[in-house]
Chains A and B, each alone.
Chain A
Amino acid sequence: MFIEIKKKLKLYNMKVGLFIPCYINQLYPQVGKATLELLEKLNVDVVYPSGQTCCGQPMANSGYENESVGACNNFVKNFNEFDYIVTPSGSCAYHVKKHFDVIPQTDEVTKVRNNVYELCDFILNVLKIKDVGARFPHKVGIHKSCHGLRGLRLGSCSEKVTPEYSYIGELLAEVSGVEIITLNREDECCGFGGTFAVVEEAISVKMGKDRVQDHLDNGAEVITATDTSCLMHLEGLITRHMQPLKVLHIAEILNSVN
């Protein structure tokens, strides 16, 4: 209803660019599609600039910030004219905000850093929409991806003594039919961590297994998150061990209607 009114009034007089991170583009295109369709459903005039690659995080987090400069510049070239840059990845948005100081801080760079938003943050706090009209009758566990949680503060974390909130949780709670399950450890890291996943393979796998187990122990059918990278890691373990769980990016749930 609210969405309809907004549609009519054409309130969204803004230019929105969609950033699809490299690994989503290549390995999880369905997450990109869901993000785009969802934004269009919400009547956002969204553009996907061709020629995008990566935010530079894989090199930078491995200690090779210098090798990420090309990716950063490419990102700025693609996105500097948008009022908002929306991406289905808290981690990439955080990287742009926090680590794009590796290139000279021109007006364009500053603008890009200021305007980048993780998807849930954008829907809830820019569009000011809580109920996106989705239906998803399943038991879902929220994995609060760390870079979004403690980097972008997309929710309160268990370490700090602050009022409780969670952007992904607020959006998910409005989805009809969904049952959000409570985890024993509400915001423990999954152990992906980029190249950490291979450099520290043993710990990475153990962390992932524990994260999956927490969801299984609490009866989740689906693990969702703001980051597909965490989910790729967890899915890798789940399929290898043939466990009764699915992973879905939050965009896929918010875009569901059945």
Chain B
Amino acid sequence: MNHSEAATIFNKNEKKVNWHDKALWFVRHKRDKSAHSVEGWEELRNLGQGIKAHTLSNLDNYLIQFEENALKNGVQVHWAQDGDEHNRIVHSILKEHNAKKVVKSKSMLTEECHLNPYLEADGIEIIDTDLGERIVQLAKETPSHIVLPAIHKTKEEVDELFQEHLGTKPCGGDPQYLTGEARKHLREKFVNADAAITGVNFAIADTGGFVVCTNEGNADMGAHLAPVHIACMGIEKIIPKQEHLGVFLRLLARSATGQHITTYSSHFKKPRKGTKMHIVIVDNGRTEQLSRPDFRASLQCIRCGACMNTCPIYRRSGGHSYDATIPGPIGSILSPGKDLTKHSSLPFASTLCGSCSDVCPVKIDIHTQLYKWRQIITKETKQPYVKVMSMKMMGDIFSKPTKFEKVGKVARWSLRNLPKGIINSKPNVWGKERDLPSGPVESFDEWYKNRK
């Protein structure tokens, strides 16, 4: 199903669309207030972009520096070319430690690699411990947003879900009761876990340490209780220096939720006594994206989700309509790089309004990249014959003024004289819910000529 079809289905329930739109707009609004309270916010964005662009240009060096320092700290470092290799590595580490129960804090990378089903196939229990992620896991769904994974679910839906899976009492969607129950349920999982998996927000080349940001403290809870900590990161998570965190932590929290700082920004450097720490560094198509000059800046992304919250299309179509691990504007420029045909509708799910590029804390030119993907998609994937021909025809009409004039005349006459029923009949998608202007007798051109 392409984006437009999925979005049409989502829009069948207008009340839910309104609710979804308002919930995300609220987050965007909070972000505005918090960003506008920082003097020099635009400077901060410039810095963020600059550091990331520099890092991407020197990625090989920084990755090696990071590995060296991490090894010195007593961390084991693994490299994975793709999702499969990543899964195999994680699996083998778990096996080595005979780990059967695993807790995981939020990591879009493990979603991207489909780690959960891979481990579950071998009888390993893997529990997502971020509340939103746990909700979608119980519902057997995927996250619909990278920061707010269950934003598509109402509290009433969560109530029902918890009754079914956690045996909670019906509570009319009382958030306090529901989170309390989730907390009890997750505590038990934390205490009994054999290993903890976390994502990585920032990996610091000059220390070999890394930072994981959560609002629920679930990464810490997992990593501090379990004897094995596996941190999974894409190659683009590197930043050169510890001091650069001062830029990114400020940008991230404000852009994501409007908080001044994420509740837990946890710094990990070396394993505790008697425990093991592993880092898995994953490529999975990132170097390929890095090799595309027009699209490499997409790797600057710090996964704040602001482009989703601001996107008027995302807010009204829901994250699942993108059918991709990362939805929304950033997903629409990343996904075509992975599978052009499958994701060919995504760059068209935009009015090119540019709000995403202006909200992005690292100044990725998202809407320009959407435009560029469109040019590639129409060349490299199969397009409907009617579309190709109509574009050719339009191109021809607009290059020949006399032809343009004639066609314009016919169009105006039709708009004036044909019955509405015909004008708005099925092939005219515009007319389903919108009227067309009534065709004026004179075009501007004709009026101007007669005026003299």
Interface residues of A (CB under 8 A from B): 20, 22, 24-30, 32-33, 36, 48, 50-54, 56, 58-71, 73-74, 99, 146-147, 149-151, 157-162, 185, 188-189, 191-208, 210, 232-233, 235-237, 239-240
Contacts and interface: CB of A to CB of B under 8 A. Distances in A.
Given A22-B398, A161-B41, A202 B11 contact: yes
A interface secondary structure, majority: helix
A239 B435 CA distance: 7
Nearest to A234: B434
Contacts of A68: 395, 398
A189 B353 contact: yes
Interface in B393-409: 394-401, 404, 408
B385 interface: no
Interface residues on B, range: 35 or more
B439 A200 contact: no
Contact of B395 (A67, A147, A159, A196): A67
A196 B444 contact: no
Interface of B: 3-4, 7-8, 11, 14, 17, 21, 25, 32, 35-36, 38, 41-42, 310, 312-313, 316-317, 347-355, 357-359, 371, 374-375, 377-378, 387, 391-392, 394-401, 404, 408, 411-412, 415, 429-430, 432-437, 439-440, 442-445, 447-449
A39 B422 CA distance: 39
Contact of B25 (A27, A54, A185, A239): A185
A63 B42 contact: no
B430 A25 contact: no
A71 B398 contact: yes
Given A146-B355, A150-B353, A150-B357, A160 B445 contact: no
A27 B440 contact: yes
B35 A161 contact: yes
A202 B4 CA distance: 8
A205 B14 CA distance: 12
Contact of B313 (A56, A158, A200): A200
Given A61-B374, A207-B316, A236 B401 contact: no
Contact of A25 (B42, B312, B371, B408): B408
Contacts of A204: 351
B435 A201 contact: no
Contacts of A71: 395, 398-399
B360 to A, nearest CB: 9
B316 A203 contact: yes
Contacts of B399: 53, 69-71, 73-74
A51 B444 contact: no
Given A59-B395, A71-B395, A207-B312, A200 B434 contact: no
The 3 closest A-B pairs by CB, nearest first: A70-B399, A193-B351, A236-B434
- Looking at A52, A206, A237, which has the most chain B CB atoms within 10 Å of its CB? A206
Nearest to A56: B398
Contacts of A203: 4, 7, 11, 313, 316-317, 349
Contacts of B371: 60-61, 99
Nearest to B36: A161
B359 A159 contact: yes
Given A146-B351, A201-B8, A191 B312 contact: yes
A150 B357 CA distance: 9
B32 A200 contact: no
Given A59-B391, A62-B378, A25 B36 contact: no
A33 B450 CA distance: 13
Contacts of B352: 61, 146-147, 193
A53 B401 contact: yes
Contacts of A50: 401, 445, 448-449
Contacts of A207: 312-313, 316, 351
A159 B357 CA distance: 9
